[in-house]
Amino acid sequence: MIFKDSKGAEFLASKSKMIHQQLLTMKSGTGYFFVSAMALLVFSQFSFQKKTPFDLKASIVRGKEVYVAYCLSCHMEAGEGVEGVYPPLAKADYLMADKKRSIQQVLYGATGEMKVNGKIYNTEMAGFDLTNEQAADVVNYIRNSWGNKGSAIRPEDVKTVRK
């Protein structure tokens, strides 16, 4: 840039000083705010993405505790049940056939006749007062123990089953 006189140069110099000052205040004010807002956004995206894949293994570990506390007394330690009275869960065709039904039975109980691994059961099980997470965990545990292998159930799935 060419300045015709010193006045113009002075004017420009003072103008640029002003802009510089403005930039400085922006950096410390709006600038920092902007940077931290961006950091927050990036962080929240990151943690959201980290939560999305469901940790089935951890759910099964938690589910075992629920099983020991609420279910073991009838369905037994190895999920074998008691023939004619408490149906088995281990390698149980009935259990593995319908995960929604299993969630319903755990929450609201089971009555009436059912055929599990070729044997008829016609007794009764009361429902359990469990949180969505506890119910998902225990069903994940029984569907993934003693030779069973089932897809993951999330607390959201239990929520949709609730009446």
Residue 111, by phi and psi: left (phi above 0), alpha (psi -120 to 50) or beta?
Answer: beta
Query: With binding defined as CB under 6 A, does residue 152 bind ligand HEC?
Result: no
DSSP conformational letter for 82: B
Q: Determine the interface stretch with ligand HEC among 10-18, 38-46, 53-61, 85-93 (rule: CB under 6 A).
A: 85-93
User: What residues numbered 105-124 form the site for ligand HEC, per CB under 6 A?
Assistant: 105-106, 110-112, 114, 116, 121-124
Query: With binding defined as CB under 6 A, does residue 89 bind ligand HEC?
Result: yes
Query: With binding defined as CB under 6 A, does residue 60 bind ligand HEC?
Result: no
Asked whether the beta carbons of 127 and 103 are under 8 A apart, the reply is no
Q: Determine the interface stretch with ligand HEC among 24-32, 41-49, 94-102, 153-161 (rule: CB under 6 A).
A: 94-102
CA atoms of 156 and 153, how far apart (whole Å): 8
Asked whether the beta carbons of 153 and 103 are under 8 A apart, the reply is yes
φ/ψ of 110, rounded to 5, equals -140, 135
Q: Closest separation between CB of residue 156 and ligand HEC, Å?
A: 19
Query: With binding defined as CB under 6 A, does residue 142 bind ligand HEC?
Result: yes
Comparison of 40 and 69: residue with beta carbon closer to ligand HEC? 69
H/E run at residue 163? none
The tokens 């319903």 sit on which residue?
Answer: 104
Contact residue for ligand HEC among 73, 77, 78, 162 (CB under 6 A): 73
CA atoms of 21 and 36, how far apart (whole Å): 22
Query: With binding defined as CB under 6 A, does residue 128 bind ligand HEC?
Result: yes
Q: Closest separation between CB of residue 75 and ligand HEC, Å?
A: 5
Query: With binding defined as CB under 6 A, does residue 62 bind ligand HEC?
Result: no
Radius of gyration in angstroms for the set of CA atoms belonging to the chain, rounded to a whole number: 32
Q: Closest separation between CB of residue 141 and ligand HEC, Å?
A: 8
